[in-house]
């Protein structure tokens, strides 16, 4: 087995966005020992010996429809407090290397190519990257802006990229609420390719909280009457989600977490406001009215203030490593053990964070066992 020495490709849809830039810069910073791996679950002791690709072995590329090059984007993020001040300069070579592997996404307005043409072109981009980079495998990860809820039978862009991943034989991770592989016309193809995939919609802030608070209410037999929330965010994400159709996609995931952990649907809306003045920082306020003993009213409010890109990036690195290793280990289909990372997980796993964490550790154990078997087989084969 040579997975430690081999390189692993990470192909990012939305490769010049805040999340992707933070992923590339952060991976380089950790590899260089500039920062501790805060927020990366796969760097905790539980994952020792599971055969995950090393951070230093990851090679980045991707698609995007915007032009601002990665090193410049990284400078902007540092100015906005998302990246540490000196980091873009310290990892400029790695940013430039990833920038060279970014290809034009689409379709942009005026593009007359058919869906089939686009999938073919995207798959060719991914295969060419894999060849050039000499990677053992490439994981495709969607970190692009949320697209409006798909209507009709046409494949939305996120599904074109997902189809390209299948065609290129790549495991796929959907970190956004966009449709991706969840389109009915892709179901048969996904099954036929026998590739592992994971998603949907990374759980980074307000929904992460909801996935531990929901079970608390349920376990304590407290009756939630109303759960209301408001999210304020600037950056591109705020503008994208100001589109009601995109917000609807996002909110469906948030509400699923509540419904699944509380076992019922409760009153309350979720607002997503575009507030450019907040830049890449997000504030999420939740107000939960619930009943205690004899119907006495109790109120819990939470306020979460952070940078979404910085919360998302370590999870993206975790997911790329875990999905690559799952592929290597021969796992196929929906990776339900990765529900820990998602608002709306594929497969049929638990919805509370602690149970999801237990499932993730179970996957780690299985991967570790396979690594040990492989090592034993390797040793046995040697003269």
Q: Name residues contacting its own copies, limited to 202-261 (CB under 8 A).
A: 208-209, 212-213, 215-216, 219-223, 225-226, 228, 230, 232
Coil, strand or helix at 21 = helix
Residue 97 engages its own copies in binding (rule: CB under 8 A): no
Tell me if 40 contacts its own copies by CB under 8 A. yes
* Smallest distance, its own copies to C-beta of residue 299, A: 5
Which of the residues 106 through 145 are near its own copies (CB under 8 A)?
none
CB of 38 to its own copies, least distance (A): 5
Q: Report the largest interatomic distance among the alpha carbons of the chain, rounded to a whole angstrom.
A: 74
- Least Å from the CB of residue 50 to its own copies: 15
Long-range contacts of 236-241 (CB under 8 A, 24+ apart): 236/17, 236/18, 236/145, 237/18, 237/145, 237/146, 237/282, 237/308, 238/272, 238/273, 238/274, 238/275, 238/276, 238/278, 239/274, 239/276, 240/145, 240/146, 241/146, 241/272, 241/274
8-37: which residues touch its own copies (CB under 8 A)? 22, 26, 29, 35-37
Measured from the CB atom, the residue of 213 and 367 that comes closer to its own copies is 213
- 284 in Cβ contact with 205 (< 8 Å): yes
DSSP 3-state assignment of 300?
strand
Nearer to its own copies, 187 or 354 (CB): 354
Least CB distance to its own copies at residue 338 (A): 14
Regarding 2 and contact with its own copies (CB under 8 A), the answer is: no
**Nearest distance in Å: CB 86, its own copies:** 10
Binding mask 334-373 for its own copies (x = CB under 8 A): ------x-----------xxxx-x----------------
* Residues within window 301-340 making contact with its own copies, judged by CB under 8 A: 301-307, 310-311, 313-314, 340
Q: How many residues bind its own copies (CB under 8 A)?
A: 75
Cross-strand pairs, 11: 61, 140
Contact between 92 and its own copies (CB under 8 A)? no
| Those residues with Cβ within 8 angstroms of residue 197's Cβ, 6 or more apart along the chain or in another chain | 171, 172, 173, 174, 181, 190, 323, 333, 334, 335, 346
Beta carbon of residue 325, minimum distance to its own copies (angstroms, whole number)? 18
Q: Based on the number of CB atoms within 10 Å of its own CB, is 102 exposed (0-12), middle (13-18) or buried (19 or more)?
A: buried
Beta carbon of residue 41, minimum distance to its own copies (angstroms, whole number): 5
Cβ neighbours, 10 Å, residue 40: 20
């Amino acid at each position: 087995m040579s997975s430690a020495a081999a390189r692993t490709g990470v192909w990012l849809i939305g490769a010049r966005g805040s999340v992707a830039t933070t992923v590339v810069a952060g991976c380089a910073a950790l590899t260089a020992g500039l920062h501790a791996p805060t927020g990366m679950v796969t760097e905790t002791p539980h994952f020792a010996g599971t055969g995950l690709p090393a951070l230093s072995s990851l090679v980045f590329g991707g698609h995007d429809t915007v032009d601002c090059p990665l090193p410049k984007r990284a400078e902007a993020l540092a100015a906005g407090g998302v990246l540490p001040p000196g980091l873009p300069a310290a990892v400029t070579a790695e940013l430039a290397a990833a920038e060279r592997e970014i290809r034009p996404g689409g379709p942009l307005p005026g593009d007359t190519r058919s869906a089939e043409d686009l999938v073919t072109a995207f798959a060719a981009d991914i295969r060419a990257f894999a060849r050039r980079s000499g990677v053992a495998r490439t994981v495709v990860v969607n970190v692009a802006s949320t697209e409006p809820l798909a209507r009709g039978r046409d494949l939305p862009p996120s599904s074109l990229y997902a189809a390209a991943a299948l065609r290129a034989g790549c495991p796929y991770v959907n970190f956004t609420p966009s449709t991706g592989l969840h389109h009915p016309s892709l179901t048969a193809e996904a099954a036929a390719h026998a590739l592992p995939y994971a998603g949907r919609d990374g759980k980074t802030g307000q929904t992460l909280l909801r996935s531990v608070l929901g079970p608390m209410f349920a376990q304590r037999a407290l009756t939630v009457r109303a759960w209301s929330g408001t999210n304020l965010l600037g950056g591109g994400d705020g503008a994208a989600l100001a589109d009601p159709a995109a917000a609807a996609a996002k909110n469906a995931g948030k509400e699923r977490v509540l419904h699944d952990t509380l076992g019922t649907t409760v009153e309350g809306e979720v607002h997503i406001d575009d507030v450019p003045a907040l830049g890449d920082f997000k504030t999420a306020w939740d107000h939960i009215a619930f009943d205690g003993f004899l119907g006495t009213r109790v109120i819990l409010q939470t306020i979460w203030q952070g940078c979404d890109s910085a919360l998302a990036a370590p999870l993206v690195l975790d997911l790329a490593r875990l999905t690559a290793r799952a592929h290597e280990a021969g796992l196929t289909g929906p990776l339900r053990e990765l529900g820990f990372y998602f608002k709306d997980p594929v497969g049929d796993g638990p919805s509370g964070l602690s149970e999801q964490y237990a499932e993730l550790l179970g996957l780690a154990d299985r991967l570790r066992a396979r690594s040990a078997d492989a090592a034993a087989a390797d040793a046995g084969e040697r003269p």
